[in-house]
Structure 1
Amino acid sequence: MNSLRTATLRFANLATSATGALGKRDFTRSLWHMTKKPAAGCNDHVTVLNVHKPSINCTCGCNIHTKCERELVEFLTEEIVAERKVQKGKTVPSTLDGFSVKLNGADVELTKQTDKEKVVISFNVNHSVDSEEEPEINPNADKPDLGEMRSKPQFEVDIIKGSSTLSFTCSFLQGEAQEGEYNDVFSIDEMAIYDGEWNDKVYAVAGDVLDGYLYDLLVNLLEEKGISQDFAEKLSDLATAHEHTSYIALLEKLSKFTTGAK
């Protein structure tokens, strides 16, 4: 299942620094922003923004923004710059190990076509990011370490031959493997096979009830098609890059929405 980014972590991401590897977001401002009293005229609840008196000190000259809106835009301006520095110009590649990459909003699709079959990998980066470590948040700390933020979305693998499709639903495994366990990056959640288009009537079997040997053979089959454990790591890198780019775009849209810019 997709990991949910907690409200605390997402709030923390709105105050991140420009240091660290791709996807790692530390605070640019300390957590005292979470506990300090709001400025005069700025209520905690967004729903009351429309009753605030316009600020006469609005720097953009429009003279219609509230104090809260102006402070939000000022913060977003700094935050967008910081996030772009963390991103360091990294973009989603157009191909990945023989798969062509197509982006459509939060959706990502990778396709590889041969004479005999087509392999399609698809996923959505929404709600796919979580910290690799549980952070210890200290309100008195200047820059709490939130750990590395990576996107690990649930993904679908469709192996298409003619009108028939062998479909797998896969998820990234959380945590490190214990002694004696396989060091797998992902697991098979579900498998189905069907003709034509998928519908709710198609029978699917959960991966955890499959015969163990059959499960291993299916994992080997995926690896033969290019979906190995190493490839899954690269898939997570791609998803992380796209999620981060989408996150920056969201901040930019929020800033424009607040200022009323087109």
Structure 2
Amino acid sequence: MNNILKVALRLNGLRSILNPVKNNAYSSVNQQRQFARNLWYMSNSQNHTGFFKEVEHNQLCSCGCGNKRGSHTKAEKQLIEFLTEEILAERKAQKVKTIPSEIDGFKASLKGAEVTLTKDAGEEKIKITFNVNHSVDTDIEPEVSEKMDKPELGELKSKPGFKVELIRDKTTVSLLCSFVVSDEDQYNQEEAYNDVFSIDEISIYDGEWNENIYSASGEVLDTYLYDLLMNYLEDKGISNEFVEKLSNFSTAYEHSAYIGLLEGLSKFVSRK
């Protein structure tokens, strides 16, 4: 009896599908088709939302680069994660956000790692050039203790060697200078020099410089002549105070360039 009832129910259901009038079966079929189309459209749409967006997000690389999962090696992932944290830390430690356009009347021109400072002084043009590459050193010696996990470094300062050119007409007086390395044990306090920079070399020439131009080392100059040249530079505005400002400028610019290097490396490794 149960089997006969089941067959009857199946036949009744079949009739309701075949007959578009009874039970509005035709309308029901259309609704089912429309629902199927909606599912197909959602699964193939370019603008995924809801559940589909979550699935797509889960396929992204865990390093945060935005690429698909598995597109980077383990070394690349570790490097990207470190660079992300390092860039944030360096930006937080950055003291100067905007590089000044001049120092004490000297206009600054930046080209890669090279910096040029120029100032017109009557009939003369004063030109100072330096490069920030390999110019950074700690301001003080690191403190080392057995209780420390690592030594505490002093403030990083950029102290590049710089060239001063005094140009009048076609003649140029060129002086190569460098920062003085302070060492309290090297001199007695009474004999120590107060200058923060020194003259390493001097030359004079007409037109463009070439390797045949004679240059004299600052170490062989007469002591009195050397002091007079230092006074001469101070008279031109290149004093101890100015050179300290030059160091601060170089430190800020070098730090900015370093952050730019980290960002470029991060983009390269993450393939953005």
State the Cα distance separating 1:88 from its structure 2 match: 3.8
Q: Does 1:229 align with 2:236?
A: no
State the Cα distance separating 1:227 from its structure 2 match: 0.4
State the Cα distance separating 1:194 from its structure 2 match: 0.2
Q: Distance in 2 between matches of 1:187 and 1:194?
A: 21
Contact 2:80/2:270 (<8 A) preserved: yes
The range that moved more, 60-69 or 230-239, is 60-69
Q: Distance in 1 between matches of 2:204 and 2:63?
A: 60
The one-letter code of the counterpart of 1:152 is K
Structure ranking higher in helix proportion: 2
Q: Does 1:209 align with 2:216?
A: no
Higher relative contact order (CA 8 A, sep 6+): 1
Q: Distance in 2 between matches of 1:170 and 1:147?
A: 24
Give TM-score, length-normalised by structure 2. 0.72
Corresponding residue for residue 139 of structure 2: 132
Q: Structure 1 residues 58 and 252 mapped into 2: Cα distance closer, same or farther (>3 Å)?
A: closer
State the Cα distance separating 1:61 from its structure 2 match: 3.2
Q: Structure 1 residues 66 and 184 mapped into 2: Cα distance closer, same or farther (>3 Å)?
A: same
Off by >4 Å, runs of 4+ in structure 1: 55-59, 136-140
Corresponding residue for residue 114 of structure 2: 107
CA RMSD of aligned residues (A): 2.0
Contact 1:58/1:64 (<8 A) preserved: no
Residue among 171, 174, 184 paired with 2:181: 174
Residue among 129, 138, 153 paired with 1:122: 129
Structure 2, unmatched stretches of 5+, are 1-59
Q: Secondary structure at the match of 2:203?
A: strand
The one-letter code of the counterpart of 1:110 is L
Q: Distance in 1 between matches of 2:130 and 2:214?
A: 21
Q: Distance in 1 between matches of 2:67 and 2:142?
A: 41
The one-letter code of the counterpart of 2:218 is G
The range that moved more, 145-154 or 129-138, is 129-138
Q: Distance in 1 between matches of 2:146 and 2:174?
A: 47
Q: Secondary structure at the match of 1:197?
A: coil
Identity of aligned residues (%): 56
Structure 1, unmatched stretches of 5+, are 1-54
Q: Distance in 2 between matches of 1:232 and 1:193?
A: 22
Corresponding residue for residue 85 of structure 2: 78
Q: Secondary structure at the match of 1:79?
A: helix
Q: Does 1:64 align with 2:75?
A: no
Contact 2:96/2:252 (<8 A) preserved: no
The range that moved more, 159-168 or 140-149, is 140-149
Q: Secondary structure at the match of 2:219?
A: helix
Say how many residue pairs are matched: 207
Residue among 177, 195, 208 paired with 2:206: 195
Q: Secondary structure at the match of 1:214?
A: helix
The one-letter code of the counterpart of 2:267 is K
Q: Structure 1 residues 56 and 218 mapped into 2: Cα distance closer, same or farther (>3 Å)?
A: closer
Q: Distance in 1 between matches of 2:200 and 2:156?
A: 23
For residues 203-242 of structure 1, what are the alpha-carbon distances to aligned partners after superposition, in whole Å with 9 as ceiling and x for unaligned? 0000010000000010011001110011110000000000
Q: Does 1:157 align with 2:164?
A: yes
Give TM-score, length-normalised by structure 1. 0.74
